Homo-oligomer: A and B are copies of this chain.
Amino acid sequence: MNRFEPNLRIPGPTALPPSVREAGGRQMMNHRGPEFAALLGRVTSGMQPFFGTASDLVVLTCAGTGGLEAAVVNTLSPGDPVLSVTVGVFGDRFAKIAEAYGADVTRLSVEWGGAAEPDAIRETLRARADYRAVLLTHNETSTGVTNPIAAIAAIVREMAPEALILVDAISALGAVPFAMDAWGLDLVVTGSQKAWMSAPGLAMVAANERAWAAMETARMPRVYLDLLEHRKSAVNGQTPWTPAVAVLYQVDEGLRLMAAETPAGVFARHAACAAATRAGLTELGFELFADRRFASDTVTAARVPEGLDWKTFNGEIKARSVVLAGGQGRLKGQIFRVGHLGSVTLEEILGALAVLEEVSLGAGRSVVPGGAVAAAQRAALDVLRAARAAPVPA
């Protein structure tokens, strides 16, 4: 961010650091040659620690939604009973994909703003446990809620040991601690345009041996999104179809930056920016939409206050180069969202809050000048202090 570049505070595509931008402008290469194989190998092995997995990971050329479709169509057959746990737009989308391909979907829908709580999962699985798969959203971008995936997965493993756990981790993986193998997740999806600080165009899918085995017999049709084909090609350092090479250049560079910062540093920065955003918005009198206990560290949703003309208000904010996201689906006009993931810095969050404060004052809202940035800075420092005091993970 500088004064010639917008402060892009949407939850993806996230702003690209200068060196990632440079990577996106590189010349093409032969995607069937050794240089590409080295690139694909670096991206794969660079991502695995963030997934928390030693399993094979493949790179698809598609949006995150394509990754979700790949999760469904590669592991399931028409008629398979599937439990879809949904807390927002993206959970609903995951369920719709399974339905479109003929799965027998049972929905456990949580009121938007809330999380999928372990007890509710347990009750649902007590009633019926023969699901072939459970679809989970790690971080629900539409509401700013992060589900307690580890606790949920533990209950699924206990109550429905045969069920595959398929996880949409698109909008937080890489920004927060994640442990696919330790949590017993079978398949996990992410996307290049989120924590990875790259342009959209790639979805990364990791699957454990149980999931890879399920793909051998799954009967939903697929060609383009066939994960086994991708795994087979990856052995030769290739993808089965022409990949989004330039985005791969960017993810490679994004991973280099993340490794230099260290995963712990990346996570602490996200936690600090999230705490700052929540504190600042609260100080400005906005009611946070998500259940506080499950507030996301990558995106924060706040209610549009009664009586505020959002379109005019947001127009003023945009005129000051801060780009916020609106509500999706039935939350359109009800909430707004602030993205704080990827290349985000505290400076950008303070800047966005300063603009929100200025526009709030202009709109006659009752706010204390300087209050939001002060509250945000205090909250960030608290998080960073706690992170420094925390034991360093092995």
A30 and B221 contacting across the interface, CB-CB below 8 Å: no
Which residues of A from 13 to 33 have beta carbons under 8 Å from B? 13-16, 21-33
Query: In the assembled complex, how far is the CB of residue A66 from the closest CB belonging to chain B, in whole angstroms?
Result: 4
| Residues of chain A at interface, number, CB under 8 A | 57
CA distance A15 to B69 in the complex (A): 32
A30 and B325 contacting across the interface, CB-CB below 8 Å: yes
CA distance A27 to B220 in the complex (A): 38
CA distance A22 to B24 in the complex (A): 8
A65 and B223 contacting across the interface, CB-CB below 8 Å: yes
The yes or no answer to A61 lying at the interface (CB within 8 A) is: yes
CA distance A27 to B6 in the complex (A): 9
The one of B22, B69, B191 in contact with A223, judged by C-beta atoms closer than 8 angstroms, is B69
A244 and B244 contacting across the interface, CB-CB below 8 Å: yes
Q: Is the interface of A mostly helix, strand, loop or mixed?
A: loop
CA distance A71 to B6 in the complex (A): 38
A63 and B242 contacting across the interface, CB-CB below 8 Å: yes
B242 and A12 contacting across the interface, CB-CB below 8 Å: yes
Given A62-B66, A66-B61, A100-B221: A242 and B191 within 8 A (CB)? yes
A27 and B33 contacting across the interface, CB-CB below 8 Å: no
B16 and A63 contacting across the interface, CB-CB below 8 Å: no
Contact string against B for A residues 301-334, beta-carbon threshold 8 Å, 1 for contact and 0 otherwise: 0000000000000000000000101100000000
Which residues of A from 148 to 199 have beta carbons under 8 Å from B? 191, 193, 199
B64 and A241 contacting across the interface, CB-CB below 8 Å: yes
Q: Would you give 22 A-B contacts (Cβ < 8 Å), ordered by A?
A: A5-B27, A8-B30, A10-B32, A13-B29, A25-B25, A61-B66, A65-B224, A66-B241, A69-B223, A69-B224, A97-B223, A100-B223, A101-B221, A193-B245, A199-B245, A199-B247, A201-B201, A201-B244, A224-B225, A244-B244, A244-B247, A246-B250
The yes or no answer to A200 lying at the interface (CB within 8 A) is: yes
CA distance A16 to B24 in the complex (A): 12
Query: In the assembled complex, how far is the CB of residue A296 from the closest CB belonging to chain B, in whole angstroms?
Result: 18
A13 and B32 contacting across the interface, CB-CB below 8 Å: no
Query: In the assembled complex, how far is the CB of residue A18 from the closest CB belonging to chain B, in whole angstroms?
Result: 9
CA distance A241 to B193 in the complex (A): 12
Chain B hits for A31, CB < 8 A: 13, 200
CA distance A13 to B97 in the complex (A): 31
B29 and A224 contacting across the interface, CB-CB below 8 Å: no
Contact string against B for A residues 34-69, beta-carbon threshold 8 Å, 1 for contact and 0 otherwise: 000000000000000000000000000111111001
The yes or no answer to A385 lying at the interface (CB within 8 A) is: no
The yes or no answer to A243 lying at the interface (CB within 8 A) is: yes
Query: In the assembled complex, how far is the CB of residue A232 from the closest CB belonging to chain B, in whole angstroms?
Result: 15
CA distance A228 to B26 in the complex (A): 34
Q: What 3 pairs across the A-B complex have the smallest Cβ distances?
A: A25-B25, A201-B244, A199-B246
CA distance A24 to B288 in the complex (A): 36
Chain B hits for A250, CB < 8 A: 246
CA distance A286 to B21 in the complex (A): 42
The yes or no answer to A102 lying at the interface (CB within 8 A) is: yes
Which residues of A from 209 to 243 have beta carbons under 8 Å from B? 220-225, 240-243
B201 and A61 contacting across the interface, CB-CB below 8 Å: yes
The yes or no answer to A378 lying at the interface (CB within 8 A) is: no
Chain B hits for A100, CB < 8 A: 221-223
The one of B16, B22, B244 in contact with A200, judged by C-beta atoms closer than 8 angstroms, is B244
Chain B hits for A25, CB < 8 A: 21-25
